[in-house]
Structure 1
Amino acid sequence: MGETGGMKVHRMPDQPCFALYSAVNAITRAYRPLLQPLDLTYTQYVVMMTLWEQDGVDLRTLAERTLLDPPTLTPVVKRLEAKGLLGRRRADDDERRLVLTVTEEGRRLQAEANEVPEKMLCQVGLTPAEERQLRTLCGQVTDALASPR
């Protein structure tokens, strides 16, 4: 890092946050052609993958699992419902809680989307060990920044 007038200069390419930001943008761009035939955005895909993993969860639980806040998640869920991929209903035990369930059409889409993760992994080109290391490091960053200061 250079010095300018006694001040340390922080170059953008040297910043870990910029490396993460750049990687996320590249990944999102790479997903577009894989998700376009499914008529899903990356955020919609994340929501559907989460529901395919565990169906019948409420919005709060979905927000926790996707790491998306409810104000961001609500319009995504509404769009997926309009596409016929999921339904919302009131929970039997608490009518204030909306439970999200994957429709039959959403299950058909799951079968079509089955190859997306593997195709993406091939594009990224990491070994299984590198992939695990990347997930571990990203998890450490997420946990550290989620902890109250």
Structure 2
Amino acid sequence: MPALDLSTHPGHLARRLQQAHTLLWTTIVSEDVTSPQFAVLNTLVGADGLDQRTVGERVGLDRPTIAEAVRRLVARELVGKVRDTKDARRSVLHLTERGSRLHHKLSGRTARMNQIFLAPLDPQEQAAFLELLQRVSDATAALRNPATRLPDRPAP
């Protein structure tokens, strides 16, 4: 069997895109705050009192990833975490003053990073690219739901 053309494989291209994003993020935005951590900070801007599960759902992070991101943000005193007074099983999050200042600082950097990331595309292509990424992301998010039936695996 000849070698496959991986330029037609979405997973391969998504991995390469993620590598480019990580390089740009650490070079332009921050070496200390990850993109998922920034997403948590961003979600809490003006939305104090959200629980960890809700924040995770809003930014598309699974339970272990949101838990680790929040743990690190709390340890750095960028996010506060307290038990919900109405439901002790739940913790609510809030952006600290320090977290708010950092979010403000990094927001400008993320805008610059996005300009560089999307520079190979003209404005219409950028809009189409983002819309297509959102559609695929939304569709694949459903795959995390245990009730979603995955397509059968083809026979070997």
SS at match of 2:30: helix
Q: Which residue of 2 aligns with 1:31?
A: 25
Q: Note the alpha carbon deviations across 1:58-109, whole angstroms, 9 max, x for none.
A: 0110110111111111121111111110100111221111001001111111
- Is 2:99 the counterpart of 1:77? no
Q: Which residue of 2 aligns with 1:17?
A: 11
Q: Are the aligned partners of 1:32 and 1:42 in contact in 2 as well (CA < 8 Å)?
A: no
Q: Which residue of 2 aligns with 1:93?
A: 86
SS at match of 1:115: helix
Q: Which residue of 2 aligns with 1:145?
A: 140
Q: Which residue of 2 aligns with 1:102?
A: 95
CA distance in 2, matches of 1:127, 1:140: 20
**How far did 1:9 drift?**
5.3
CA distance in 1, matches of 2:36, 2:54: 16
CA distance in 2, matches of 1:133, 1:47: 26
Amino acid of the structure 2 residue aligned with 1:67: G
TM-score where L is the length of structure 2:
0.80
Q: Note the alpha carbon deviations across 1:27-48, whole angstroms, 9 max, x for none.
A: 11111022336x3122211221
Runs of 5+ consecutive residues of structure 2 not aligned to the other structure? 143-147, 150-156
Q: Are the aligned partners of 1:88 and 1:98 in contact in 2 as well (CA < 8 Å)?
A: yes
CA distance in 1, matches of 2:91, 2:82: 5
Q: Which residue of 1 aligns with 2:40?
A: 47
Say how many residue pairs are matched.
Answer: 142
TM-score where L is the length of structure 1:
0.83
SS at match of 2:13: helix
Percent pairwise identity = 33
Q: Which residue of 2 aligns with 1:135?
A: 130
- Is 2:61 the counterpart of 1:68? yes
Runs of 5+ consecutive residues of structure 1 not aligned to the other structure? none
Seen in structure 2, the aligned counterparts of structure 1 residues 95 and 50 have a Cα distance that, compared at 3 Å, is: same
CA distance in 1, matches of 2:74, 2:59: 17
CA distance in 1, matches of 2:44, 2:62: 16
**RMSD of the alignment, in Å?**
1.9
CA distance in 2, matches of 1:127, 1:91: 47
